[in-house]
Amino acid sequence: MIPLAEARRVVFDACPLRAPEPMAVDAVLGCVLGLPVVAAVSVPPFTNSAVDGFAVRAADVSGAPVELKAVDTVVAGSASSPRLEPGRAIRIMTGAPLPEGADAVCMVEDTTVAGGGTVVIGTAVAPGANVRRPGEDIAAGERLFEAGTVLGPAQIGVLASVGLAQVTVHRRLRVGVLSTGDELTAVGQALAPGRIWDSNRPLLIAAARASGFEAVDLGIAPDDERALAEAFADASGRCDAVLTSGGVSMGERDLVKVVLERLAPGSMRWMQIAIKPAKPFAFGVLAQGTTPVFGLPGNPVSSLVSFELLARPALRRMAGHHRIDRPVVPALASEALSRRPDGKTHFARVVVHREEAGELRAVPVVGQQSHQLHALAGANGLAVLPDGTGVGVGGAVDVLLLDAEEALGAARTSVLRLLGEPPVDSGTGGR
């Protein structure tokens, strides 16, 4: 057996960062910038009003209430604005260019339109009040984002605000997902005796998508060398990386590692990793290119754990991410997390929740075997149990959070709660 860290090194070394390329801003959500972005223009680009109201000279309204002649209106989108003469006011809308001669805007709430085309300004304003100056958000020439920035909604909005329709990013990886096994039947088809539905492919396709990759469904390959070789040839032409499940254990029909050895000579590594679940793992880079193949174990829980610990971080690295792993947080065991010494690090499926006092508690789910996928679906974390006898009740344990939002008690800390409203409970919501 080799330590997990060594297995990750082997994999990471063979999964170099993909070169960045230009991409339309509407397609870059979740992608990582490959080059820094510098603003060519200022935002706002011109002086404009921050409110709906009346553009004035602050000096004219210092003795408020005062009545001014309201001479004109400027709306957002106006190409230009009339000049404001002393003793006058110009009605102005949010975002409209500030008239020359004006230096402040009175909010409409502080004004009363009087008869005869005049307005009473009820409150004095300081020069610059309710006025947005050019460059207050972004100055032309400013470095907006460094290479390595992950592009979320706010970053994408900023790019558009400076007029960028295209940026250079590490493209979303296309990750192929192949199930292997003579016993597998695609969902939607009837099950013959001795067969099971293929759950790993939907599971891993979803896992790939949830991690920001594009998933390519490569179907099911039987336990047959030729069929597997064909599936790999097909995959290497249209995928940046391939996830397979099954066929990497000690059985005589475990042929993924055999075929990989043939197609990826030199780079293929069949490993026994000192972890439980997910001990067996095969890895190779297909000879015809740069397509890494992650041979995940077949048991569904092992498949997902192997994806989380090996494939996902390696793929995120290839896609330019610096934060490649899930967060690991310290928690206290609400129940014993027992195990036997076996030279491996165990990853126990647990539910993490936040106590009222703020500390995190971990409770193991019932069903810790590697075929018990339903139990995994009820967990939100993997408790990391180093070799030994485990952790007793109340003991400290590190937990890898598969669903950090849920584990950290999103409802408990929601903004509604801070505002004194009861959290929305999905079970009773709407009633």
Binding site for ligand AMP (CB under 6 A): 179, 181, 183-184, 196, 198-201, 245-247, 249, 251, 254, 297-300
Q: 65 preceded by cis ω (within 30°)?
A: yes
Q: Which amino acid is at 274?
A: A
Whether the CA torsion 229, 232, 234, 237 is positive or negative: it is negative
| 332 within 8 A of 261, measured Cβ to Cβ | no
Of 279 and 312, which has the nearer Cβ to ligand AMP?
279
For the bound state, the minimum distance from the C-beta of residue 195 to ligand AMP, rounded and expressed in Å, comes to 9
Q: What is the DSSP letter of 191?
A: P
DSSP string, 107-162: EGGGEEEETTTEEEE-S---TTTTEEPTTSSB-TT-EEE-TT-B--HHHHHHHHHT
368 binds, among ligand AMP, Mg ion, none (CB under 5 to 8 A by kind): none
236 binds, among ligand AMP, Mg ion, none (CB under 5 to 8 A by kind): none
What is the C-alpha to C-alpha distance for residues 357 and 38, in angstroms, rounded to an integer?
A: 45
Q: What are the tokens at 179?
A: 């199930």
286 burial (CB, 10 Å; 0-12 / 13-18 / 19+) is buried
For the bound state, the minimum distance from the C-beta of residue 183 to ligand AMP, rounded and expressed in Å, comes to 5
97 binds, among Mg ion, ligand AMP, none (CB under 5 to 8 A by kind): none
Of 201 and 321, which has the nearer Cβ to ligand AMP?
201
| 187 within 8 A of 146, measured Cβ to Cβ | no
Of 70 and 282, which has the nearer Cβ to ligand AMP?
282
- For residue 397, what are the β-bridge partners? 331
Of 297 and 390, which has the nearer Cβ to ligand AMP?
297
152 binds, among Mg ion, ligand AMP, none (CB under 5 to 8 A by kind): none
Which residue in 116, 112, 67, 113 sits closest to 87, CA to CA? 67
| 270 within 8 A of 257, measured Cβ to Cβ | yes
183 binds, among ligand AMP, Mg ion, none (CB under 5 to 8 A by kind): ligand AMP
For the bound state, the minimum distance from the C-beta of residue 296 to ligand AMP, rounded and expressed in Å, comes to 9
Q: What are the tokens at 200?
A: 């790993």
For the bound state, the minimum distance from the C-beta of residue 256 to ligand AMP, rounded and expressed in Å, comes to 8
What is the C-alpha to C-alpha distance for residues 334 and 352, in angstroms, rounded to an integer?
A: 10
For the bound state, the minimum distance from the C-beta of residue 370 to ligand AMP, rounded and expressed in Å, comes to 8
Residues at the site binding Mg ion, with contacts judged by CB under 5 A: 181, 246-247, 298
| 228 within 8 A of 221, measured Cβ to Cβ | yes
Chain residue at closest Cβ approach to ligand AMP: 298
Of 299 and 345, which has the nearer Cβ to Mg ion?
299
What is the C-alpha to C-alpha distance for residues 268 and 33, in angstroms, rounded to an integer?
A: 31
What is the C-alpha to C-alpha distance for residues 300 and 198, in angstroms, rounded to an integer?
A: 10
273 binds, among Mg ion, ligand AMP, none (CB under 5 to 8 A by kind): none
295 binds, among Mg ion, ligand AMP, none (CB under 5 to 8 A by kind): none
What is the C-alpha to C-alpha distance for residues 385 and 346, in angstroms, rounded to an integer?
A: 5
For the bound state, the minimum distance from the C-beta of residue 277 to ligand AMP, rounded and expressed in Å, comes to 11
Of 247 and 300, which has the nearer Cβ to Mg ion?
247
Of 235 and 365, which has the nearer Cβ to Mg ion?
235
For the bound state, the minimum distance from the C-beta of residue 303 to Mg ion, rounded and expressed in Å, comes to 11
47 binds, among Mg ion, ligand AMP, none (CB under 5 to 8 A by kind): none
Of 28 and 204, which has the nearer Cβ to ligand AMP?
204
For the bound state, the minimum distance from the C-beta of residue 15 to ligand AMP, rounded and expressed in Å, comes to 23
Of 161 and 249, which has the nearer Cβ to ligand AMP?
249
Which residue in 290, 386, 345 sits closest to 4, CA to CA? 345
For the bound state, the minimum distance from the C-beta of residue 406 to ligand AMP, rounded and expressed in Å, comes to 25
Report the residue count for the chain. Answer: 431
Q: Distances in Å between the alpha carbon of 71 and those of 83, 91, 99, 118, 227?
A: 10, 8, 12, 8, 81
For the bound state, the minimum distance from the C-beta of residue 245 to ligand AMP, rounded and expressed in Å, comes to 5
198 binds, among ligand AMP, Mg ion, none (CB under 5 to 8 A by kind): ligand AMP
Of 129 and 239, which has the nearer Cβ to ligand AMP?
239
